[in-house]
Structure 1
Amino acid sequence: MNRSFNKSQPLRNPNCNAVEVKSKYGAEFRRFSLDRVKPGKFEEFYKLILHIHRIANMEVLIGYADVHGDLLPINNDDNFCKAVSTAHPLLRIFIQKQEEVDFSNFGNNTLTRKKKAVVTLRNSDINRKRPHIRIGMPQDFRPVSSIIDVDILPESHRRVRLFRHGSEKPLGFYIRDGTSVRVTPHGLEKVPGIFISRMVPGGLAESTGLLAVNDEVLEVNGIEVTGKSLDQVTDMMIANSHNLIVTVKPVNQRNNVVRSSRMSGSSGQSSDSGGSTGYPSLSVATVREMSSGAHAYHDDLESDE
Structure 2
Amino acid sequence: MTHSFAFEHWASTHQVRAEQVLARALPGEETLPERLHAAMRYAVLGGGKRVRALLCYAAAELAGTTADSADAGAAAVELIHAFSLVHDDMPCMDDDDLRRGKPSCHKQYDDATALLVGDALQSLAFTCLAETQVPQALKQVQLLAHATGSRGMCGGQSIDLQSTGKTLTRSALETMHQYKTGALIRAATLLGAYSADKTETSLVNLLDQYSRNMGLAFQVVDDILDATADTQTLGKTAGKDALQEKSTYVSLLGIEEANTLVQSLYQQSLQLLAGFGTEADALRGIARFICERQF
Scaled by the length of structure 1, the TM-score of the pair is: 0.20
Identify, as 1 or 2, the structure richer in strand.
1
Identify, as 1 or 2, the structure richer in helix.
2
Larger relative contact order (CA 8 Å, sep ≥ 6): 2
Scaled by the length of structure 2, the TM-score of the pair is: 0.21
Please say which structure displays the higher CA radius of gyration. 1
